[in-house]
Structure 1
Amino acid sequence: MTKDRAAFPYMKLALGGAVAGALLIGFVLPAEYGVDPTGLGRVTGLTALAQEAPASGATAALAFNVEDYDPQAERIERSIQGLIHLEDAPFKSEVIELQIEDFGEIEHKFILPADTSFVYAWEVVDPKGDGVYFEFHGHPSSADAASYPEGFEMAYSKGEGVAQNGSFTAPFPGYHGWYFMNLEEGPITLRLTIAGYWSEHKEMYRAVNGEVLNSVEF
């Protein structure tokens, strides 16, 4: 019995080695390298994994383009998932100061085609209280409204604060921008710095203490 106990660790080691070897031959080699000495990889479909694996090394072809990659091409027309969206004109850049009266509300929108973008930063100049209540949202133009559910709008962010920074890509063509309500005591200036590809922008709505001073049809 003593000899059997002394031999037991070696038996475990041998058994473990045999199992590891079987896993290597039956599973790892077919899946990783396409080597299938037992035929098990073909039966289980593991050899297909090796065939689908991308090539490695400096000679591997980059596969990020929808169309065949031509290193001599002056322009790549399309790329996967819209990672780049080419524009016909340079981006615009503006600093817009919005004056909002005491108890005032304002809505300012940018007109963008679908899939075009801007980056922005807005801030209340010299805030002394809660700043503004804001809603960043978009809706189609009246010409396109029939293609959407009645009263369709899409919300992007809302809250209260004195500043926000971000980037935005229009999910559909139309009007995209902000509604601001003054939460300070007295009039405020809100400074919006923006750069991107809008066609135009305009004040859509303005009210003071609930009385509408300006409302633009879209």
Structure 2
Amino acid sequence: MHTMKESDRDVLPSHTSLLKATLGALLIGAILLVTAVMPAEFGVDPTGLGGVMGFDRLHSEADTTEASNDTGTGSASLMGGMEPPVWRGNQPHRSDRMSLTLAPGEGAEIKAQMAEGDRFVFNWRAEGGTVTFDMHGEPPNAGDEFTSYWVGRDQTTASGTFEAPFEGTHGWFWVNRGREPVTVSVETSGFYQSLFKP
């Protein structure tokens, strides 16, 4: 049977040093709780350090990811403001191509019927001259009110991606300010209800 010798007792920490170590561990734990765990898990940041160190973004990311999984939409943002790798559309995928010819001084539109959050990729090209255009949208029953997204003068082509900020019709109005007829052809591909000429 082993008995503790006096020399072994000298190696053991004293009650005072054990108390100091315990209080130090509790203090470090409390600091971590307030600056890291509470901002990341509960969105509560009483010191503001959680926001400085980026822990508060973990909470908002978890909330938006859960919301996107519940609603079936993929518009949640990841840390650092990056878009998620998968966006899930509410409409089936479609591709459309339309064209119209504008006489000198004439204007015309092509629009897409879209729900809020619907997206498409687009490209349009003018042959025979340049056009002035206004890419815009209006909600249902808006009357003469509309929201402009992109306006250009003396253009022959434009392309990009578009996400509908609200439900309604979204598209382009082109005007031929030249002296010869101009044919505008537009191609769209994405998730929207329809493409049409008003």
TM-score, structure 2 length as denominator? 0.60
Aligned to 2:184: 190
TM-superposed deviation, 1:50: 3.8
Aligned to 2:161: 167
In the aligned structure 2, how far is the partner of 1:179 from the partner of 1:68? 34
TM-superposed deviation, 1:176: 0.8
Greater share of residues in helix: 2
1:135 and 2:134 equivalent?
Answer: yes
SS of residue paired to 1:39: helix
Cα deviation digits, residues 68-96 of structure 1 (max 9, x gap): 98xxxxx993546385233352x111221
SS of residue paired to 1:186: coil
In the aligned structure 2, how far is the partner of 1:102 from the partner of 1:80? 43
In the aligned structure 1, how far is the partner of 2:148 from the partner of 2:104? 26
Q: Percent same amino acid among aligned pairs?
A: 23
- The answer to whether the Cα contact below 8 Å between 1:123 and 1:164 also exists between their aligned partners in 2 is yes
The amino acid across from 1:167 in the alignment is T
Aligned to 2:4: none
RMSD: 3.4
Structure 2 unmatched ranges of 5 or more:
1-22, 42-60, 78-83
For residues 199 and 86 of structure 1, do their structure 2 counterparts lie closer, same or farther at Cα, with a shift above 3 Å needed?
closer
Cα deviation digits, residues 155-175 of structure 1 (max 9, x gap): 111011111111111111111
Aligned to 1:86: 89
Structure 1 residue ranges (4+ consecutive) displaced by more than 6 angstroms after TM superposition: none
Structure 1 unmatched ranges of 5 or more:
1-34, 55-61, 70-74, 205-218
In the aligned structure 2, how far is the partner of 1:180 from the partner of 1:137? 11
TM-superposed deviation, 1:47: 4.7
Cα deviation digits, residues 94-126 of structure 1 (max 9, x gap): 221221112211122111122111110111125
1:48 and 2:25 equivalent?
Answer: no
The amino acid across from 2:145 in the alignment is F
Aligned length: 146
Aligned to 1:96: 98
For residues 187 and 66 of structure 1, do their structure 2 counterparts lie closer, same or farther at Cα, with a shift above 3 Å needed?
same
TM-score, structure 1 length as denominator? 0.55
For residues 136 and 53 of structure 1, do their structure 2 counterparts lie closer, same or farther at Cα, with a shift above 3 Å needed?
same
The amino acid across from 1:197 in the alignment is F
- The answer to whether the Cα contact below 8 Å between 2:68 and 2:76 also exists between their aligned partners in 1 is no
